[in-house]
């Protein structure tokens, strides 16, 4: 089954972890075997594994922050530095496209052509023996801090950005993020107005509770949560409450469930716990909860955030690489989900949202 994953930090891993993602995850692990650091030698995502897992389309991020607490490679001292980092990450995706590895998808016509080509390949009698189409990337910005001011949004749209999450962890220039009680800034309100004007989708992931509700009031365009789980199962501000989930559903949005184990299991801590006992079936718990809150299967999807500053050690214990996504349809079937609903969760809901938004 074809799969769409709505959150992968591919450029960040390629440029700042120095991973050649055209090589397999296993080769990259071997290259990092002697390196110290979180996630080193534990990566789960590379282009060959995306292909093997039939992840035909993903939302690939640009990620840089300006929170006032500089940290290497992600949190910068000034907006121009974050701007430069985002442009470098975008250049990496364009480089992959120039080499024929991927294609950047930025409008409905390109999306429909891409999906039709993948479906035609997938239906071949011996598909795995035939050349596979390029992978599709929708470019998403995680933290709007690299945008120098809202009037510059059009430049990023021209480059291919189609989805923006205004905040990440901590206080951002445009909105309060995870771990804060800050709402939208004046810049944030102006950015949302410009996003709605230009048809850029709003990703509400990482918004503080205050910023979440303010954003829904201020922005009337299409929205999504690219990588969020359920606060009812794992009580933490990073997850969404049932009221927030219902608000996303009411706007026709989609929630991509994340695979980071601290977001899957209450009380998990990297310093004191392993991922033992946290499985892909735990991921299905969160998918199922979203479907129960929504009353249908049209708003839950995959937004794994695999290799988002971690690796196998902080992923479900029965997941070796992203290719193991192909186990999810069987797990959903065991919960009583039918084929049509499974297809919606694995790819159909993201397709519907993009097609509607880009119409």
% of the chain exceeding 70 in pLDDT:
100
- Residue 224's Cβ-count burial label (10 Å; 0-12, 13-18, 19+) is buried
pLDDT at 70: 84
- Domain count for the chain, please give it: 1
pTM for this entry: 0.97
pLDDT, tens digit, 9 for 90 and up, residues 258-300:
999 999 999 998 888 999 999 999 999 999 999 999 999 999 9
pLDDT, tens digit, 9 for 90 and up, residues 167-222:
999 999 999 999 999 999 999 999 999 999 999 999 999 999 999 999 999 999 99
pLDDT exceeds cutoff 90 at 72: no
pLDDT exceeds cutoff 90 at 76: yes
pLDDT at 81: 96
Look at residues 283, 291, 312, 297 and name the one whose alpha carbon lies nearest to residue 344: 297
Are 257 and 315 in contact by the 8 Å Cβ rule? The answer is: no
pLDDT at 95: 98
d(Cα 343, Cα 337) in Å, to the nearest integer? 10
What is the C-alpha R_g of the chain? 19
Report the chain's mean pLDDT, rounded to a whole number.
97
Are 111 and 354 in contact by the 8 Å Cβ rule? The answer is: yes
d(Cα 1, Cα 356) in Å, to the nearest integer? 22
pLDDT at 271: 86
The two three-digit tokens of residue 208, written as one number: 């503080």
> 142 in the Ramachandran plot: left (φ > 0), alpha (ψ -120 to 50) or beta?
beta
d(Cα 299, Cα 244) in Å, to the nearest integer? 13
Report the pLDDT averaged over residues 15-26: 97
pLDDT at 270: 86
pLDDT at 73: 79
pLDDT, tens digit, 9 for 90 and up, residues 28-71:
999 999 998 889 999 999 999 999 999 999 999 999 999 988 88
Which domain range does residue 327 map to?
3-358
Q: Length of the chain, please?
A: 359
The two three-digit tokens of residue 6, written as one number: 């709505």
SS3 assignment, position 137 = strand
d(Cα 310, Cα 43) in Å, to the nearest integer? 8
Report the pLDDT averaged over residues 326-354: 98
Check which CATH number belongs to the domain holding 346 and give it: 3.20.20.140
Task: With cut-offs at 50, 70 and 90, classify the pLDDT of residue 330.
Answer: very high
**Alpha carbon distance, N-terminus to C-terminus of the chain:** 25
Report the pLDDT averaged over residues 124-135: 94
Q: What are phi and psi of 173, to 5 degrees?
A: -70, -30
> 306 in the Ramachandran plot: left (φ > 0), alpha (ψ -120 to 50) or beta?
beta
Task: With cut-offs at 50, 70 and 90, classify the pLDDT of residue 17.
Answer: very high
Look at residues 2, 168, 5 and name the one whose alpha carbon lies nearest to residue 85: 168
């Amino acid at each position: 089954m074809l799969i769409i994953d709505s959150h992968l930090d591919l450029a960040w891993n390629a440029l700042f972890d120095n991973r050649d993602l055209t090589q397999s995850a296993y080769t990259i692990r071997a290259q990092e075997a002697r390196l110290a650091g979180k996630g080193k030698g534990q990566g789960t995502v590379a282009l060959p594994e995306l292909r093997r897992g039939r992840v035909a389309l993903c939302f690939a991020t640009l990620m840089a922050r300006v929170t006032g607490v500089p940290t290497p490679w992600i949190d910068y001292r000034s907006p121009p530095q974050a701007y430069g980092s985002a442009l470098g990450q975008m250049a990496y995706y364009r480089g992959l496209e120039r080499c024929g590895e991927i294609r950047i998808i930025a409008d409905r016509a390109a999306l429909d052509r891409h999906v039709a080509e993948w479906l035609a390949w997938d239906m071949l009698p011996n598909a795995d023996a035939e050349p596979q189409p390029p992978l599709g990337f929708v470019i998403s910005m995680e933290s709007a801090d690299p945008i120098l001011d809202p009037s510059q949004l059009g430049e990023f749209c021209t480059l291919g950005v189609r989805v923006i999450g205004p905040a990440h962890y901590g206080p951002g220039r445009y909105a309060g993020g995870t771990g804060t009680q800050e709402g939208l800034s004046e810049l944030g309100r102006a950015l949302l107005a410009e996003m709605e004007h230009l048809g850029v989708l709003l990703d509400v992931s990482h918004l503080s509770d205050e910023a979440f509700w303010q954003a829904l009031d201020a922005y009337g365009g299409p929205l999504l949560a690219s990588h969020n789980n359920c606060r009812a199962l794992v009580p933490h501000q990073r997850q969404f409450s049932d009221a927030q989930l219902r608000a996303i559903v009411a706007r026709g949005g989609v929630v991509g469930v994340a695979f980071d184990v601290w977001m899957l299991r209450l009380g998990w801590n990297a310093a004191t716990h392993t991922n033992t006992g946290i499985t892909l079936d735990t991921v299905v718990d969160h998918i199922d909860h979203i479907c129960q809150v929504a009353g249908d299967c049209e708003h839950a999807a995959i937004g794994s955030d695999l290799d988002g500053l971690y690796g196998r050690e902080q992923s479900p214990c029965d997941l070796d690489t992203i290719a193991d996504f192909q186990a999810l349809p069987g797990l959903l079937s065991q919960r009583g989900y039918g084929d049509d609903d499974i297809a919606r969760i694995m790819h159909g809901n993201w397709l519907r949202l993009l097609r509607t938004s880009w119409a």
